[in-house]
Amino acid sequence: MGRSQRWSLLLTRGIFALLASTFLLFIAIPLVSLLFHEPPAQVWAALLQPDIFQALQLSLVTTTLSTVLAALFGLPVAYVLARYAFPGHAILEILVTLPTVLPPVVAGVALLLAFGRVGLIGHYLAPSGITIPFTTVAVVMAQTFVAAPFFINSARAGLEQLDKRYEQAAYTLHASPFYTFRRVVLPLIRPALFSGLGLAWTRSLGEFGATITFAGNFPGVTQTMPIAVYMASESDLDTAIALSILLLAVSFGLLLALRLIRPTLDGERRATTVP
Amino acid sequence: MRTPLRVLPLLTLLVLLCAACGGQTQAVTPGGTGTATNATPATTLNIFAAASLTEAFNEIKGQYETSHASIRLQYNFAGSQQLVQQIANGAAADIFASADQTNMQKAIDGNLVQTPKVFAKNRLVLIVPASNPAHITSLKDLSKSGVKIVLGGPTVPAGKYALQIFDKLGASPAYGASYESAVKKNVVSQEDNVKAVVQKVQLNEADAGMVYLSDVTSAVTGKVEMITIPDDFNVIAQYPVAVTKGSTHASDAQAFEDFLLSSQGQVILTKYHFLSIVNNAGGQDK
């Protein structure tokens, strides 16, 4: 390697290191200051209040449900987008991504106008006594609405990268499309699936604007962790910080778990790759 | 030779940015004379005011800025509990106008404000959507099962006052404690500020909400019905205003506070259904 090449390499690496470390510090420092604001005993005391576990339980239940729904309904959408070409394909792609672009409160207002008591769909349900706002169902719907696009786009990227010949090979071996999807396609796109699930799950865990607008705020029914943090931050900052630490710990735990599962799956994948 | 040409777009952008930044102080102010603005740059007062003051303060802004050419009013409307939290955490405010004494007391305890003065009072009122889906005609109807009531959260002044009203009703023989618990069971959401309560009732999602009389503005009257709360049970909300200790325009802020307390300010406030302080002697804390 010539001298100028070596300098160029050094410079490039130096700039990358500088930019990367600046950004990592930018992320890490606020999180660390959150952790070290109060002594752990105080955090623990704040967490033992009854409302907190209610909010945590509600958050865990609703986000699990909404992630499952996002995956269940999102996979077919991702498959269609990845495998088929048709007029309006671009529109469908954009439609699927729109909820991520909308400000969450706008998403909440939109859901209200559609599924509220006098909403487009809601007013058909109201006479039967079915009202959606102010219920836990509304929380799940709001979370699914904003989080599903993350799963769909991740799954789609995984499917697009998957060589169609694997599926075609399965078909030549008389595998049904369903069997192929379940036993060939899904295992091969597991990294994309898991990262999509992780994104969707954490997005719905942090979801606030659409939830408070569409579902409202009531402890035990619709007060999720982010809403509890927000309400607490206005009157009792210490409780808000304790809640934030809890939320941080739960998110960290889940993302870590998802990340740790992946390498073992990747290893499995390499072993089954057709040479 | 190539370098200057490549840098040209960047230089142009920089020049444009500088021009934009420098251009602000030369903006012509409406109502003021052209010559005055070039000599005196506008002073901006940051006013943190309770959400319920939105409409009244917006009208005050028009009048105040016209009569005070060098002053610009910039508002931050939110729940009073949120505002005092923001000021405590260093937000730059010149004036804090709270919807209750509790949050002003927090500001006093935190050494954030000068001595406050009550500048307006407000009453609460029950509102129902114009279509009245739950057929609520009186306070008693609120205890019917299935009625969806929306209030401000317990730390929001409007929510706190609402709970006080229900406590008063619960303590009276005409309504009783079972009424109070039935009503509290019917509460489906605790909103972050009073305007969110108005919104939910307006959108027909809530069957009833408790808001300030001043929140039933001209924009809202067609969409909601009001049910008055008897004076015996109603709460008179006291709105204190104070200049913040961190204000960099203390004398201008004080002038604004004086305007609120003056008859001109009171006229605008009463136009928006606030209760004036000039009727009561001194208008001090209850």
B150 touches chain A (CB under 8 A): yes
pLDDT given at position A128: 86
- Using left for φ > 0, alpha for ψ between -120 and 50, and beta otherwise, residue B78 falls in beta
Residue B85 and residue A233: Cβ atoms within 8 Å? yes
Nearest CA of chain A to the CA of B277: how many Å? 28
Segment A117-138 shows an average pLDDT of 90
Q: Spell out the SS3 assignment of chain B.
A: CHHHHHHHHHHHHHHHHHHHHHHHHHCCCCCCCHHHHHHCCCEEEEEEEEHHHHHHHHHHHHHHHHHCCCEEEEEEEECHHHHHHHHHCCCCCCEEECCCHHHHHHHHHCCCECCCEEEEEEEEEEEEECCCCCCCCCHHHHHCCCCCEEEECCCCHHHHHHHHHHHHHHHCCCCCHHHHHHHHHCEEEEECCHHHHHHHHHCCCCCEEEEEHHHCCCCCCCCEEEECCCCCCCCEEEEEEEEECCCCCHHHHHHHHHHHHCHHHHHHHHHCCCECCCCCCCCCCC
pLDDT given at position B274: 92
Is pLDDT above 50 for B27? Answer: no
Segment A95-116 shows an average pLDDT of 93
CA distance B188 to A104: 21
**pLDDT interval class at A90 (50, 70, 90):** very high
Q: What fold characterizes domain B122-236?
A: D-Maltodextrin-Binding Protein; domain 2 (3.40.190)
A83: amino acid identity, one letter: R
Residue B200 and residue A237: Cβ atoms within 8 Å? no
Segment B256-281 shows an average pLDDT of 87
For the beta carbon of residue B209, count every other beta carbon within 10 angstroms.
31
Segment A235-262 shows an average pLDDT of 86
| Nearest in space to B260 (alpha carbons), one of B50, B84, B41 | B50
| Nearest in space to B220 (alpha carbons), one of B256, B194, B183 | B194
Segment B45-64 shows an average pLDDT of 94
ipTM above 0.85, yes or no: no
A65: amino acid identity, one letter: L
User: What mean pLDDT, rounded, does chain A reach?
Assistant: 89
On whether the pTM is more than 0.90, the answer is: no
Is pLDDT above 70 for B286? Answer: no
| Nearest in space to B43 (alpha carbons), one of B31, B25, B61, B56 | B25
Segment B259-264 shows an average pLDDT of 93
pLDDT given at position B278: 76
Residue B205 and residue A230: Cβ atoms within 8 Å? no
Is pLDDT above 80 for B18? Answer: no
**pLDDT interval class at B2 (50, 70, 90):** low
Tell me the CATH number of domain B25-119+239-271, given options 3.90.870.30, 3.40.190.10, 3.50.50.60, 3.40.50.2300.
3.40.190.10
Find the range with the poorest average confidence among A172-181, B110-119, B146-155, B160-169: A172-181
For the beta carbon of residue B165, count every other beta carbon within 10 angstroms.
21
Segment B96-119 shows an average pLDDT of 94
- CA dihedral (A99, A104, A106, A107) positive or negative: positive
B190 touches chain A (CB under 8 A): yes
Comma-separated ranges of CATH 3.40.190.10 domains in chain B: 25-119+239-271, 122-236
Query: Considering only alpha carbons, which residue of chain B is nearest residue A122?
Result: B205
pLDDT given at position A266: 53
Segment A13-38 shows an average pLDDT of 93
Highest-pLDDT range among A37-51, B191-205, B271-285: B191-205
Query: Considering only alpha carbons, which residue of chain B is nearest residue A221?
Result: B188
pLDDT given at position A50: 75
pLDDT given at position A265: 53
Q: Which residues on B lie below 8 Å from A212 (Cβ)?
A: 192
Segment B223-231 shows an average pLDDT of 93
A237 touches chain B (CB under 8 A): yes
Domains and CATH numbers, chain A: 40-272 (1.10.3720.10)
